[in-house]
Amino acid sequence: MNHSILRCTSPVTTTQPAASPVATVGVKPGHFDAVAPPRKVIVNQHHKNGTSLAVLAEGLSRTFGSITAVDDLTLHIKPGEVFGLLGPQGAGKTTALRMLAGQLAPTSGSALVAGMDIHSAHHARKIRSLTALTPQQGRFDAGMTGPEVLYYFARLLNILQDERANYVKTLLTTLHLWDERTNQVANDYTPRMQHRLGMARALVHSPKIVFLDEPTASLEQEDVDMVHDLLTHLSAKNRTIVFATQSSEEADRLCDRVSILNAGVH
């Protein structure tokens, strides 16, 4: 197994049994110096077995003033893999995903997503077209129905009109939003429905790499099962999925490999 390495700022403890498929990949207990290394330019985005990586991060760090949210994160994620980021609230999972999705600049370190440098302004638009970061909560413009929200974003993303209708219907059907509520204004959706519509909005352009930020947090079991079905659907289409969760059981069930982000960085 090719290990991903996480550099933590506080001791790591885990109660995972040795036989669990959820691997505490490359996590070393102990305290580390807070000085981040200088940025390294990645010149080879291939794994040592020759396979191109979907995500390659080296020494990725982010600080907010005196607070270190992510410290020296290294990840090697293969195409088509369901990769978990497991950790409690405040562990830096959202910050890590936002950096990889190109929404937040790292303080130091480098990363290639789909072979493109997240630091490059030239690559930024292409990275956004190939990836999606699903929000923890959905927010929508007033007056638009669920399908209208998706059609609007599909047009912005230059999705062909012939493809638009089928894919919007498939997404909303998968997330149980294509029914008698199709003509309901999205702002009048229940919080559970808005959460699902937010996921659909992020996925409307059929991204190759999907960053899921705790998509099942605070959901009822029916919605959790629905999200798990969607994840299985995406994985079957060979999408690469980076899945942040606080649940070791969920990570064990869904992910091919897992890295643990430790709490205590705030």
Residue 43 — pLDDT band, cuts 50, 70, 90?
Answer: very low
Q: Which residue has the higher pLDDT, 39 or 263?
A: 263
List the domains of the chain with CATH numbers.
5-260 (3.40.50.300)
User: Which tokens hold the place of 208?
Assistant: 């190759």
Residue 87 — pLDDT band, cuts 50, 70, 90?
Answer: very high
Q: Is 15 left (phi over 0), alpha (psi -120 to 50) or beta?
A: alpha
125 closest CA partner among 108, 103, 97: 103
CA distance 155 to 172: 17
Q: What is the pLDDT of residue 35?
A: 33
* Averaged pLDDT for residues 15-27: 37
Using the predicted structure, report yes or no on whether residue 159 has a pLDDT greater than 60.
yes
Task: Give Cα 200 to chain centroid, integer Å.
Answer: 14
This prediction has a pTM of 0.77
Beta carbons within 10 angstroms of residue 164's beta carbon:
17
